[in-house]
Homo-oligomer: A and B are copies of this chain.
Amino acid sequence: MNTNKLLDNAQTKWTSGGNKGDIVISSRIRLARNLAAKPFPHLLTEAAARQLALQVREALAKSNLKYFYVDMENISPIDRQILVEKHLISPALLDDARGRGVAVSEDEAVSIMVNEEDHLRIQCLYGGLALNEAWQDIDVLDQKLSENLNYAYDQELGYLTACPTNVGTGLRASVMLHLPALTMLKKTGQIFESLGQMGFAIRGIFGEGSESKGHLYQISNQRTLGFSEKDIVERLNRVVEQLAEAETKARKDLFKKNQNSMADYIWRAWGIMTNARSMSSAEAMEKLSALRLGVSEAIIKQTNNVKLNQLLISIQPGFVERKLQTEAPNSQISTMQRDWARAEIIRNQLLNINNNK
């Protein structure tokens, strides 16, 4: 692993797909952890934040965990953005680079953000529905780290966190779902309302405050206090299985009633994605959704979900901009150039054109 490999490559652990990969893009478990007797990150001085980051890296080394550490201060804003686009860090880590960083495992399944809202945000992210696997892996990692880091823990409350909503297990489980049929049939409103009542949050794919694009939704538990880790994971797992079933049924209905117009919708998206010379990320997200549906319904056979998952990353602004910066360093890049480059990335990926210039 090196920084360039990490940043140039749109392939990452979760893009390889998995169980129910037609509907469940990825599954994530993250733990919020803080070191005892240290102010939470927003109260840390710059020097103390850097010191804490060092302490975390030492603990990783002592625990024999070979993680690649990226210091936010050493990479450009665009490169930080790319880590968000790969879902290896949260947008919140971008607010201030000082003393912040992320440790990434070789396969990019695990990342540990340092000095985000909490001292540590440990996450495990897999493709498909894999909440249990992610929980098992993160639990082992958490144990190992706790041997070399003194976590802030209260016998009554559990793990202490910067924000009270994370107190307790400090665990958040989330999944990224592709729900085009439920969306088109206007069934998400009702479903999401009842999910909200059950204590789940529904967001766009870049987390809090982000809009839903391309029929993609992130669903996560809101409540952690009073639930065991196992409860949280199992509850979300059950909900995702139900949602996947509802989406599968909705797709059947949709294609049964609108076979021709759905085929037309999907093939037009393919035609545009493989031919357009300029494309905004919003349009790309929208067309990607149609292609994903086309692959799932065996209408589009020229590509697959793994490639489409990678596209989900490589069409994002940071990724496109880094590609352009590599070709022409230090140049001012316009939206037009970015949209042009994005269209090229999409064509090359979908038509298997290997463009090594």
Contact = CB atoms under 8 A, between A and B. Distances in A.
Contacts of A276: 264, 267-268, 271
Number of copies: 2
A61 interface: no
Contacts of A264: 276-278, 343
A260 B344 CA distance: 12
Interface in A261-286: 261, 263-264, 267-268, 270-278
A270 B261 CA distance: 19
A270 B275 CA distance: 7
Contacts of A343: 264
Contacts of A267: 275-277
A166 to B, nearest CB: 46
Interface residues of A, number: 18
A68 interface: no
Contact of A271 (B261, B263, B271, B340): B271
Interface of A: 260-261, 263-264, 267-268, 270-278, 336, 340, 343
27 contacts: A260-B277, A260-B278, A260-B336, A260-B340, A261-B278, A263-B277, A264-B276, A264-B277, A264-B278, A264-B343, A267-B276, A267-B277, A268-B271, A268-B272, A268-B275, A268-B276, A268-B277, A270-B271, A270-B275, A271-B271, A271-B272, A271-B273, A271-B274, A271-B275, A271-B276, A272-B272, A274-B275
